[in-house]
Amino acid sequence: MALVPCKECGTLNSENAEICLSCEFPIKGRSQKQLWRWVALGLALVFGLPFAVYSIDLLKAQLQPEASRPAGK
Ligand SMILES: [Zn+2]
């Protein structure tokens, strides 16, 4: 396990620590990685949600063929 010095007070913290044990300064790099995780999640939602809605619509149409067809002859 690597130790990273705090940029604020110089205390050595575990690289898994999110904040400095001494001054609670957020250790850089980790928060940025989490930011990118949220950005990726947001993009996945933006692009994945319409696709999910579309496939649910397709599934519904396949499960109920009569309902999707216009009635009457
Ligand atoms: Zn510190």
| Its pTM surpasses 0.85 | no
Residue 68 has pLDDT above 60, yes or no: no
Task: Give 55 Cα–ligand 1 centroid separation in angstroms.
Answer: 50
Alpha-carbon span 50 to 67, nearest angstrom: 22
| pLDDT for the residue numbered 30 | 52
| pLDDT for the residue numbered 4 | 87
Task: Give 34 Cα–ligand 1 centroid separation in angstroms.
Answer: 20
Q: What is the pLDDT of residues 8-65, one digit of tens each?
A: 899 999 988 888 999 998 876 555 677 888 999 999 999 999 999 999 999 999 998 6
Task: Give 35 Cα–ligand 1 centroid separation in angstroms.
Answer: 21
Alpha-carbon span 4 to 16, nearest angstrom: 9
20: its two tokens: 């400095």
8: its two tokens: 């604020």
